[in-house]
Amino acid sequence: MKLGFIGLGKMGSRMVQKLLADGHDVIVWNRSKAPIEELQFKIQNSKFKIVSKKFKVSETVEALVKSLAKPSVVWSMLPAGEATKGMLAQLLQLVEPGDIVINGANEHFSVTEQNYGDFKEKGIRFLGIGVS
């Protein structure tokens, strides 16, 4: 599977490594470059022999979404609150019916229900899988 991944904090970068180790192609975007560089270093020096060809970096969220085959899968691992709210609003404009958006923020269930409704209204599948 090829998927887009947004947010390379501690949990996000570990999830990307796991996805790569399991054979998935992952295109990432992160607001700041340092986490991307750190993850690239880890991948290149991994004891698990992760294939770095399966790891790509996108310059923008829009380019990330456009680079995915349909139906696309975009996974966001940003902190709950404004960062996630803004990203989901942006994704709502970029993804298309049939696509899948996964939100890993620890949102209150009522916020997740609202997000689900917003995406469902446009025919986009939404999974709220907050983790901690």
Q: Is the pLDDT of residue 132 over 80?
A: no
- Number of domains observed in the structure of the chain: 1
Containing domain of residue 77, as a range?
A: 2-128
115 vs 126: CA distance, rounded Å: 8
For residue 107 the two structure tokens come to 């949102």
The CA–CA distances, whole Å, from 28 to 13, 20, 67, 70, 123 equal 10, 12, 11, 17, 24
Reduced 3-state DSSP string for 14-75? HHHHHHHHCCCEEEEECCCCHHHHHHHHHHHCCCCCCCHHHEEECCCHHHHHHCCCCCCEEE
What is the domain-level CATH number for residue 13?
A: 3.40.50.720
What is the per-residue pLDDT for 45? 80
CA 30 from chain centre, in angstroms, equals 9
Neighbour-count burial of 121, counting CB atoms closer than 10 A to its CB (0-12 exposed, 13-18 middle, 19+ buried): exposed
Amino acid in the structure at residue 69: A
30 vs 25: CA distance, rounded Å: 17
Q: Is the pLDDT of residue 15 over 70?
A: yes
Cis peptide before 35, with omega less than 30 degrees from 0? Answer: no
Q: Is the pLDDT of residue 131 over 80?
A: no
Q: What pLDDT digit, counting tens, does each position of 89-120 carry?
A: 999 999 999 999 999 998 888 999 999 999 99
What is the per-residue pLDDT for 42? 85
The CA–CA distances, whole Å, from 52 to 1, 17, 49 equal 15, 10, 9
Q: What pLDDT digit, counting tens, does each position of 23-80 carry?
A: 999 999 999 999 999 998 888 887 655 567 889 999 999 999 999 999 999 999 999 9
